[in-house]
Chain A
Amino acid sequence: MKTYTASIIVSLRRAILDVQGKAVENALHSLHMQGMANVRIGKHIELDVQAPDMESARATVEEACAKLLANPVMEDVHIDIAEKAAGASA
């Protein structure tokens, strides 16, 4: 078994108005930071997972996302997985 670190980004589905993102975008514009648009706010979840290989680590994390970490009715997920460097601690 190896240890993998998963970095998961959960964000509202594109079709759903992200009111937090909109409010932050308006705040940026009120700071005269023009040229910024489409602000989206989401959640970042990081976790370690034990698995024999990268594929099964990803499958486990995808299952966790589908069951608990995200709600597919309203959210999209993006998962990055990397093998944890030896000696690295949380």
Chain B
Amino acid sequence: MKIGVVTFPGSNCNADAEFGATITGNTAVRLWHKDTSLPSGLDAVILPGGFSYGDYLRTGAIARFSPIMQSVIAFANDGGIVFGICNGFQILCESGLLPGALIRNEGLSFVCKDVNLRVERTNSPFTRALSTGSVLRIPIAHGEGRFTAPAEVINEIEANNQVLYRYATEDGTLSSEANPNGSINNIAGITNARGNVMGMMPHPERACDPLLGSTDGVSVFASLALELSSR
């Protein structure tokens, strides 16, 4: 299976995302922000972390209008699998592929540390290799990760079970202490209503090798691989 990883000016997790995409046997395809189409036969697209276009105006606001994003938006609207990590999540929210927005962390600081994520459901393309209620230890590194949306949108997201990951304690309890950025309902990752687009602030691609302290991120990419091989 071919997984495309987009590099925008300012992306800095593209190589890690390519690594994550390949550890489960898939092939990573490098995509450039100026590309006006996606290669044929592409099975999924990853928007990696970083600071695309310097985060000018708002995080993801400029990247959303880059040439490749028009193809990515069309790909997603056709049911293609699109996965945004950190800045990729911000770009997906700005492009309207995911609901809500990501704003300045409640504590104002850039937070770079390992967090615990509780898996909320496993019947999604992005969590198929996981078990509900299990807890993953994966790092975050962001200044603008506080998920927010109008109350009616939050209600809709919750009613549709669109939340895939929440910040939790080690034993899977939700608490404000376990919430690193003040996200509403401890939300760390969501899908769209259709289920083919997902964004998460934590970095599973940085938790794919024992040398980096955790291999919990592998299961996220394994889920993606499982989904693609069953399509």
> Using a CB–CB distance below 8 Å, which chain A residues touch chain B?
12, 15-17, 19-20, 23, 68-69, 71, 73-74
User: Could you list 25 A-B pairs, sorted by A, with CB under 8 Å?
Assistant: A15-B150, A16-B103, A17-B182, A19-B104, A19-B105, A19-B106, A19-B107, A19-B108, A20-B104, A20-B108, A23-B108, A68-B61, A68-B65, A71-B58, A71-B61, A71-B94, A71-B101, A73-B93, A73-B99, A73-B101, A73-B150, A73-B153, A74-B101, A74-B103, A74-B148
Residue among B58, B100, B182 with the highest chain A CB neighbour number at 10 A? B58
Nearest 10 CB-CB pairings of A with B: A73-B101, A74-B101, A19-B108, A19-B106, A71-B101, A74-B103, A19-B104, A16-B148, A71-B58, A23-B108
B106 touches A17 (CB 8 A): yes
Q: Tell me how many residues of B have a C-beta within 8 Å of chain A.
A: 20
In the complex, what's the smallest C-beta–C-beta distance from A90 to chain B, in angstroms?
20
The CA of A40 and the CA of B152, in the complex, are separated in Å by 24
The CA of A67 and the CA of B65, in the complex, are separated in Å by 10
Question: In this assembly, does B211 line the interface, its C-beta being within 8 Å of a C-beta of chain A?
Answer: no
The CA of A23 and the CA of B94, in the complex, are separated in Å by 26
> Using a CB–CB distance below 8 Å, which chain B residues touch chain A?
57-58, 61, 65, 93-94, 99-101, 103-108, 148-150, 153, 182
The CA of A25 and the CA of B106, in the complex, are separated in Å by 15
Q: A43's closest neighbor in chain B, by CB?
A: B57
Main secondary structure of the interface of B (DSSP, over half): loop
Chain A residue numbers with a CB within 8 Å of B57 are 68-69
The CA of A71 and the CA of B103, in the complex, are separated in Å by 11
For B103, give its contact among A12, A15, A23, A69 (CB under 8 Å).
A12
In the complex, what's the smallest C-beta–C-beta distance from B89 to chain A, in angstroms?
14
Q: B65's closest neighbor in chain A, by CB?
A: A68
Chain B residue numbers with a CB within 8 Å of A16 are 103, 148
Chain A residue numbers with a CB within 8 Å of B103 are 12, 16, 74
Chain B residue numbers with a CB within 8 Å of A68 are 57, 61, 65
In the complex, what's the smallest C-beta–C-beta distance from A4 to chain B, in angstroms?
21
In the complex, what's the smallest C-beta–C-beta distance from B151 to chain A, in angstroms?
8
Chain B residue numbers with a CB within 8 Å of A23 are 108
The CA of A69 and the CA of B108, in the complex, are separated in Å by 22
Residue among A12, A17, A19, A73 with the highest chain B CB neighbour number at 10 A? A73
The CA of A73 and the CA of B101, in the complex, are separated in Å by 6
The CA of A73 and the CA of B98, in the complex, are separated in Å by 12
A73 touches B108 (CB 8 A): no
The CA of A17 and the CA of B182, in the complex, are separated in Å by 10
